[in-house]
Structure 1
């Protein structure tokens, strides 16, 4: 499943037809963070099914992010991100199995850090698209 399909499956409320690739990835990060926060709330409410569903969607979104990695252009950064995405997926799975909210927090912190960096290059990306 590619990143666009992953996003469409988990977030049907936002129109993505006009989103450029950079914006789509921003939406994926936001969607993953939102679902992790919702999963934490479901975990605290002892809603096992809801928690599991939301964590699964978070893992799916991270898989979508992984599908966007470009190893030719991204080089070492893409390799490191792939490893980090793999770690996040495994940590979310463990959080679900062990009902461990601290693991959800850990992944959310990692995602926020990457998202902040991605958001920070938005202006540069948009100016390159308009120049090209």
Structure 2
């Protein structure tokens, strides 16, 4: 396959990918760039190391800049910490020609990539349902028991509920 065809195929994948698939692809590309940087360190190819490491840093910075801190809550805050740490470690790749720093970042990002890979395989309706369940769980963190009568028995026409689970019609 020539370079033009490969580029067109890559563009087609990006243009038709779901948001989850796009995030997976960003992680995949970041890890690929870091593997290239490690190889370049081992071959003492400074230019290739810089190019690959800079591309990985750009992608991680993009991931960090697109976090929705308001909607993402604690998960977004945790990802922001991971991205910040990763960017700091990747400075050592160029500054000290340190392949181990790139390996550490790969070890951090690989489980995230794998999670996004699993998410990207789900349909849009499954993703919406999973998001709704997560939001419902987050919103109903306190359980309120139904009112009781004077002898301690509960009288309610409501459906029985479990703590942390909301039932809506």
Give the TM-score category using the shorter length: 0.7 to 0.9
In structure 2, the residue matched to 1:67 is 65
Q: CA RMSD in A?
A: 1.9
The counterpart of 1:97, out of the listed 89, 95, 98, is 95
**C-alpha distance in structure 1 between counterparts of 2:98 and 2:92, whole Å:** 8
CA contact (8 A) 1:22 1:125 kept: no
In structure 2, the residue matched to 1:51 is 49
Cα distance change of structure 1 residues 43 and 74 upon mapping to structure 2, 3 Å threshold: same
In structure 1, the residue matched to 2:119 is 121
**C-alpha distance in structure 2 between counterparts of 1:59 and 1:71, whole Å:** 20
**C-alpha distance in structure 1 between counterparts of 2:128 and 2:115, whole Å:** 21
Number of aligned residues: 120
The structure richer in helix per residue is: 1
**C-alpha distance in structure 2 between counterparts of 1:130 and 1:98, whole Å:** 44
**Structure 2 unaligned spans of 5+:** 1-6, 130-169
**C-alpha distance in structure 2 between counterparts of 1:50 and 1:105, whole Å:** 17
Could you state the TM-score of these two structures normalised by the residue count of structure 1?
0.82
**C-alpha distance in structure 1 between counterparts of 2:25 and 2:52, whole Å:** 16
**C-alpha distance in structure 1 between counterparts of 2:70 and 2:123, whole Å:** 18
**Could you report, residue by residue, the CA deviation over 1:20-41 in whole angstroms, capped at 9, with x for unpaired residues?**
2111101100000000001111
Could you state the TM-score of these two structures normalised by the residue count of structure 2?
0.65
